[in-house]
């Protein structure tokens, strides 16, 4: 998925029972699609939901409910620049990976899945 699609993804778009998600936060109607999730992705989303629910309980009335899958610690939308600079790049460096754009993950995933 594109970065903007991930940042717009809502829990209402994710069906953990069927193992699919609907991409609706797109620039064009042609980009809207249903994505079948791998078992690894399903497990990661379930774990993420558990952590997010714990965050909601922890921050209480400070939580800003937007239904977003990927949100800040208080439920507000993530800033795409912060996602890249504060999280993606440091994690990539820590893992010893070469510098790549966030968008390159989409192509890498497709290549791995095809192989």
Q: Could you tell me if 48 and 69 are in contact, meaning their C-beta atoms sit under 8 angstroms apart?
A: yes
pLDDT in tens, 16-27: 999 999 999 887
pLDDT in tens, 35-77: 999 999 999 999 999 999 999 999 999 999 999 999 999 999 9
Calculated CA dihedral for residues 91, 14, 10, 34, nearest 10 degrees: 90
Distance, in Å, from the CA atom of 6 to the CA atom of 81, rounded to the nearest integer, reads: 14
Q: Dihedral of CA 58/8/46/104: which sign?
A: negative
Domain locations along the chain: 79-115
Distance, in Å, from the CA atom of 75 to the CA atom of 15, rounded to the nearest integer, reads: 20
Its pTM stands at: 0.88
């Amino acid at each position: 998925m594109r970065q903007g699609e991930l940042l717009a993804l809502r829990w209402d778009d994710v069906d953990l029972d069927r193992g699919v998600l609907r991409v609706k936060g797109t620039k064009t109607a042609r980009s809207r699609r249903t994505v079948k999730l791998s078992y690894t992705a399903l497990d990661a989303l379930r774990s993420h939901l558990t952590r997010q629910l714990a965050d909601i309980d922890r921050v209480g009335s400070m939580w800003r409910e937007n239904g977003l899958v990927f949100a800040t610690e208080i439920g507000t939308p993530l800033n795409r620049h912060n996602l890249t600079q504060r999280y993606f790049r440091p994690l990539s460096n820590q893992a010893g990976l070469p510098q790549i754009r966030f968008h390159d993950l989409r192509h890498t995933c497709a290549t791995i899945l095809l192989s």
